[in-house]
Amino acid sequence: MAATRVSALHRTAFVTGASTGLGRAFAEMLLADGVRVWGTARDAARLAPLAAGHAGNFTAVVLDLRDGAQAEAGFRAADRAAGGFDLVINNAGYGVFAEFAATDFSEWAEQLEVMLVNTARLSHAALGGLLARNRGALVNISSLAAEFPLPFQTAYNIAKAGLSALNESLMMEVSGTGVVILDVRPGDYRTDFEGSVRRPPSGATVPSPRLARAWAAFVAMMESGPAPAHAAAALRRALLRNRSGTVRIGRFFQAVVAPFMVRFGSLALKRRIQAAYFNLT
């Protein structure tokens, strides 16, 4: 019989970036379903509301993905304390909106380090335990940007495309075991993401009105997106199915219509439509 609560499948979960936005909604959904949650932020104070609301079932973990070794050590310590996590959700991330050629390369490389390399590092640390126990789920929060790259967000697009490729690879590797891999690709959601996007000063080799128009379109899409609880409900349904797969979530046009349409069109047509979507034509 299919499970009706996530806790019937997973007793414990580790969620990165649980202080706000999607990660916080994921943590709240899991706690409401009876799962014990270890949630991370770079500053424990940002997790105080979750800890206060769920004493005994929520544990705050300080973790900064800019330092891979420290992040892995933090994960392993929490994993030992939990007796081995059943569910690991790599959710933490941020945006950088800037012109590629004019951005300091260290800013660009740091985003890949945080969102691809060190997220893969936590996946690597988690998967060993899951496979040893032959049960549980690894969820990596990618983005529809893996399929529809965002203008002026090159490192973000690459990180998410790379993460989805990792997820696809792992689905093949774990097939036949009791472990589930979910490649979750959200469209635009109304979170703190837009507010925390870094916008390093541009050397302006691209005419700035184009940058401004793309930014305005991006903000409008984020602000009109569904609330994080919508994403949590979609993740809950995917977890209850208990099988590996790609999960596109968000408003109907972004998560269903657009991916369906591009199967039948050319890449050139897709680029033209995306340019129009971001007022770049």
Ligand X SMILES: NC(=O)c1ccc[n+]([C@@H]2O[C@H](COP(=O)([O-])OP(=O)(O)OC[C@H]3O[C@@H](n4cnc5c(N)ncnc54)[C@H](OP(=O)(O)O)[C@@H]3O)[C@@H](O)[C@H]2O)c1
Residue 115: which of 88, 101, 129, 96 has the closest Cα? 96
Residues 185 to 204: which contact ligand X by CB under 6 A? 186, 188-189, 191-193, 196
Q: Is residue 162 involved in binding ligand X (CB under 6 A)?
A: no
Amino acid residing at 141: I
Question: Which of 35, 50, 63, 239 touches ligand X (CB under 6 A)?
Answer: 63
Q: Is residue 93 involved in binding ligand X (CB under 6 A)?
A: yes
Identity of the residue, 92 or 211, whose beta carbon is nearer to ligand X in the bound complex? 92
CB of 24 to ligand X, least distance (A): 7
CB of 229 to ligand X, least distance (A): 12
Q: Is residue 42 involved in binding ligand X (CB under 6 A)?
A: yes
Q: Measured between alpha carbons, how far is 180 from 37 in angstroms, rounded to an integer?
A: 18
Residue 137: which of 277, 10, 267 has the closest Cα? 10
Q: Which stretch binds ligand X (CB under 6 A): 41-49, 232-240, 256-264, 268-276?
A: 41-49
Q: How many CB atoms within 10 Å of residue 111?
A: 21
Q: Is residue 226 involved in binding ligand X (CB under 6 A)?
A: no
Q: How many CB atoms within 10 Å of residue 148?
A: 19
In the structure encoding, which two tokens stand for residue 129, read together? Answer: 């335990």
Q: Measured between alpha carbons, how far is 247 from 95 in angstroms, rounded to an integer?
A: 21
CB of 132 to ligand X, least distance (A): 26
- Pairing assessment for the beta strands 136-141 and 87-90 based on DSSP bridges: parallel
Q: Is residue 19 involved in binding ligand X (CB under 6 A)?
A: yes
Q: Measured between alpha carbons, how far is 178 from 245 in angstroms, rounded to an integer?
A: 14
Question: Which of 13, 41, 181, 211 touches ligand X (CB under 6 A)?
Answer: 41
Q: Is residue 21 involved in binding ligand X (CB under 6 A)?
A: yes
Q: Is 156 a catalytic residue?
A: yes
State the DSSP H helix or E strand holding residue 137, giving kind and residue range, or none if neither.
Answer: strand 136-141
Identity of the residue, 163 or 180, whose beta carbon is nearer to ligand X in the bound complex? 163
CB of 2 to ligand X, least distance (A): 27
Q: Is residue 22 involved in binding ligand X (CB under 6 A)?
A: yes
Q: How many CB atoms within 10 Å of residue 277?
A: 18
Residue 86: which of 186, 185, 178 has the closest Cα? 178
What residues make contact with ligand X under the rule CB under 6 A?
16-17, 19-23, 41-43, 46, 63-66, 91-94, 114, 141, 143, 186, 188-189, 191-193, 196, 222, 225
